[in-house]
A and B are shown apart, each in its own frame.
Chain A
Amino acid sequence: MMKIHLDENNIVILTIDCEKKPMNVIDEEFVRTFHQKIEEITSDETNTGLILTSARDEFVAGGDLEMLRSIKTAEDCVEVTSLLHKALRKIERWGKPAVAALTGTTLGGGYELALGCHHRICINKPKAKIGLPEVTLGLLPGGGGTQRLPRMIGIQSSLLYLTTGKQLNPEKALEVGLIDALADSEGDLINKAVEFIKANPAITQPWDDKKFRLPGGEVQSPKGYQVIPASTAMMNEKTHGNYLAPKNILCAVYEGCQVPIDQALEIELRYFTELVLNTSSKNMIRTLFYSINECNKGEARPKDVPASKISKVGILGAGMMGSGIAYATAMAGIPCVMKDISEETLEKGKAYSAKVLDKMIERGRCTPEKKEEVLSLISTTTDPQDMKGCDLVIEAVIEDRGLKARVTQESEAVMPEDGIFASNTSTLPITGLAKESKRPDQFIGLHFFSPVDKMPLVEIIMGEKSNEKALAMCIDYVRAIKKTPIVVNDGRGFYTSRVFTTYVSEGINLITEGVSPAIIENAGKMIGMPVGPLAVADEVSIDLIYHIIKQTMEDLGTEAVDKATLDLSTRFVEELGRLGRKAGKGFYDYPSDGKKHLSPELSTLYPVSENQPELEEVKDRLLYIQSIETLRCLEENILTTTRDADVGSIMGWGFPAWTGGTIGFVEYIGPQKFKERCLELERKFGKRFSPPKILDGKESFYI
């Protein structure tokens, strides 16, 4: 795990190499070994300096989340973490120089090791990343990061990296002071480290000097009084109080920077421990790290189906979705052919990719050569015959059963026998569409989100007859285009559309009850949804909501639809022409010369009642309704794993990450408490809040 080498100058080179792990990460064994080695090195008086480096392409990728997950008590957390603090303090106060010789990516705990050295040099690898991303998983840098970084670059600059988790490449990191020097190669790295040690035989950390002042101003100073309150407010603007980690980071910096470093580390450790034991952080780690990784690695893929051959992808329809899918496919280096009945649409469809790529060139993230290469992979046609040779055909035409049936049959006539046909429908059940296919077992749903180039999720829908090969093909394809797949079974709205719709419907229920539209929208934002439910309705367009609900009613009867949504959407579409943003009016008005705002007409249509509900109740309704519907999806086997539920909700429609996802939220509340609250809400607002049976007796969804 760590090798010691003594060079001819009596400089110790401590090389990290976590052989048992795919990457260098800090776990408990690491901390204990590191502590012991540092004790040894610093107690040998003949040693003249220390170079801390790695045998890997990366220096250290961070703390081992498995270790953090296994911590159950505050005492355990404090014991292990203090050992790391002790080792780093030992280095800092040794009196002899220690240099962090970074071989590449240096993140989280890895960067904290570097902060505990007197000097940081990194090999200039453009793809290497340096930073403290802990906050993105609901944690804080607990190895002294919240204390050493502000002491090094000042409170204001450090908060940028601490509270956003922003990562920089070595060049940028040097620019802003996260590291002190760059090296060209491994040899250069060690040479520069040796040079530094020889030039600075006796050294102390700046913050161990009695005359040390925080760069950029102390906490209790006019500058501090300017920076800290604004940072707090901006943090609360973003988090709405839902995320504990950024708040704890601010607190640790504020408190810690007023006392000497040793006491500061104690303060940091209290805030760190609180996060390690916090349910929201645990949920975030589970979903945003483990579950997403599992999805990305294709955990849901049938193991014994051999890797799919995808030599060419056919895309039917060159509208928004079709052109986005073509772009994503070509970006992955897979040739695709886009078919439409209109040449003009096809041209526009291809131009879409060109536009996206031009923007990337502007930002320096693509080259004109790469653009040409990508565009050359997209061909267009009006002839169904050109689906010949496509291993996968993705249908993205309008939501019309007849049209879909025709293009399916046209394609199947020329596709390879073992080709897979996937429909990008977002509303029509796959099993029904598959009835028009001559190979229903090779027919599957592949639900992309708009805009395709930005949205990271793809929902794969298994029709009644879809086979394992179809699933394997879809997962292989989704992975190839670097998106995250979730796999669900067939049903109206599948998983994502079905649950997402409840958020909008609940907003509509609230407004028809006379709740102030401002409260509805603010409550939506305060639970952490990207926008309020009424704004969402305007974006997806109210006539679409109306058409879907009419279709559902035709298919399943009046009982199956939400009455408030039916009534309101009918009124908005048939009487008022309030179709949403595209019509310039919906719940909001969209003046051509100003900002959108909630329409004052709403209060005439749905008078705001004098007695407004408690804000907490409005927030609960908007959150609970989504988790309840998700539980029903689990019950009905639309969803087969909590993993797909959580990942799909956060990546698909922006369900708040602090919950860990729609099931994560149930866990956050506690299944039995969740059930009790459902019963309360059911009594007040009706059956849509009745607790699903799956909650009965449940203690946890993750054991």
Chain B
Amino acid sequence: MKTVYIYDAVRTPRGRGKADGKLHTVRPVHLAKTVLESIQQRNNLDTALVNDVILGCVTQVGEQGGCIAKSAALYAGYADSVSGFTLNRFCGSGLEAINQGASSIMSGYFDMIVAGGVEAMSRIPIGSDGGAWMIDPDVATKTHFVPQGISADLIATLAGYTRTDVDSFAVESQKKATLAWEENRFQKSIIPVIDQNGMTILDRDEHIRPGTTVESLSGLRPSFLEMGTKYGFDSVATQKYPQVTEINHIHHAGNSSGIVDGASVVLIGNEEVGKKAGIKPRAKIKSFSMVSTEPTIMLTGPGPATEKALKAAGMTIDDIDLIEINEAFASVVLRFIDEVGADISKVNVNGGAIAMGHPLGATGAMLLGTVLDELERQNKSTGLVTLCIGGGMGIATIIERV
């Protein structure tokens, strides 16, 4: 097996995923082009050395349909010889792109890959691609499908997390992200999105709300209360979890991941291709994993995924210096920390998706870039990235600086 090196990582800032968000005027293919062009330019890369562009994209309809990875590679001026592949592993897509790419490089199938993701949630709404699991009555019935927010509230109910617990976590995310931006900690990877006249459209994460407090969050109504009680989903969940009499609805817009637009890519390859391209590796991939767990509670994959990746790397959680777990919902992170016994001071040190947003298909690669930057800034060695995924899946990747 060949060792897979990480040569570089870039991302766009994340724009608020609404009509008044700065990136709402920007096509997703333009976002993908922005990061593809940037990683080529920063590394003075001969794109003919790149075998494949793999992009995660969850809602592949309309302008995000038709294999946006290949469209974006062509649009960004990559060589005709570069193939493109778009994948959907729900929220794990961006990291899955990297892991799939890594597998190909390890096996010798490919030498160099640009992997990442893109999602313009303000333009292509989440869920607008339907899908049998959610929409088909037979499938939904058989699998006890509930929306993710219900699952997040179920996790909190089972673990006994209170509204204050999850809101406090959300406030911390905002504080950490605000500080990280104040100290320019993301500077290395953020690529501003510019228009055809060279004017900047967005150059910083737009979703953060500095100054958020537990008090300011306390007024927000639980987002999934009505869905759970009026539209039957709580009952569907408790039919699977009969030890629960009532689901405690504590998640809301302020302690769940933000809906945003953005794109990200990571440049990975084997040792030889790096030499050929004249670039230096920043880190290597130690191990990665994919698991799937019970689908109704759905968001409990990160724990088992992490254990599996640690085992493959021959490490324990204490060997990891920094952890990035996607803040899909506050309870997901709290449960993960409890489950794997992580040191909370190592987790999401620069905030996460509650503050900065979660552009579905792009998030995984963003988190990998974020942890790499921070390892370098703190001069530490090992990092773990993990995300919960629809359907009960979980994904993790462990990297080590070289």
Contact = CB atoms under 8 A, between A and B. Distances in A.
Interface of A: 219-220, 222, 224-225, 228-238, 240-241, 247, 250-251, 254, 516, 518-519, 521-523, 526, 597-598, 612, 615
A219 B130 CA distance: 10
Given A234-B231, A236-B232, A518-B244, A224 B239 contact: no
Contact of A232 (B137, B227, B238, B244): B137
Interface size class of B (residues with CB under 8 A): 20 to 34
22 contacts: A220-B135, A225-B134, A225-B135, A228-B135, A229-B145, A230-B232, A232-B141, A232-B145, A233-B236, A234-B232, A236-B141, A237-B235, A237-B236, A247-B138, A251-B136, A251-B138, A518-B245, A519-B242, A522-B238, A522-B239, A526-B242, A612-B243
Contact of B233 (A225, A233, A238, A250): A233
Contacts of A233: 140, 145-146, 231-233, 235-236
B294 to A, nearest CB: 14
A240 B138 CA distance: 14
A518 B243 contact: yes
B86 to A, nearest CB: 21
Most buried by A among B135, B238, B242: B242
B242 A615 contact: yes
B127 A254 contact: no
Contacts of A234: 231-232
A519 B243 CA distance: 5
B184 interface: no
B382 to A, nearest CB: 36
B242 A232 contact: no
B141 A518 contact: no
Contacts of A237: 232, 234-236
Interface in B234-272: 234-236, 238-239, 242-246
Interface in B104-153: 125, 127-128, 130, 134-138, 140-141, 144-147
Contacts of A598: 245
Interface in B340-386: none
B295 to A, nearest CB: 15
B135 A224 contact: yes
A590 to B, nearest CB: 15
Give the 7 A-B CB pairs with smallest separation, nearest first: A237-B232, A522-B242, A233-B232, A237-B235, A250-B137, A234-B232, A230-B231
Nearest to A521: B245
Main SS class of interface, A: helix
Given A236-B232, A522-B238, 18 more contacts: A219-B135, A222-B125, A222-B128, A225-B128, A225-B135, A230-B227, A230-B231, A232-B140, A232-B141, A232-B145, A233-B236, A234-B232, A236-B235, A236-B239, A237-B234, A518-B243, A522-B245, A526-B242
Nearest to B125: A222
A236 B147 CA distance: 15
B130 A225 contact: yes
Contacts of A254: 135-137
Given A222-B128, A526-B239, A241 B135 contact: no
B79 to A, nearest CB: 38
Nearest to A608: B243
A237 B231 CA distance: 9
A598 B125 CA distance: 41
Contacts of B146: 233
A228 B141 contact: no
B9 to A, nearest CB: 35
A602 B235 CA distance: 23
A594 to B, nearest CB: 12
Contacts of A615: 242
Nearest to A615: B242
Contacts of B234: 237
A602 to B, nearest CB: 12
A220, A233, A522: which has the most chain B beta carbons within 10 Å? A233
Of A228, A232, A247, A518, chain B has the most CB atoms within 10 Å of the CB of A232
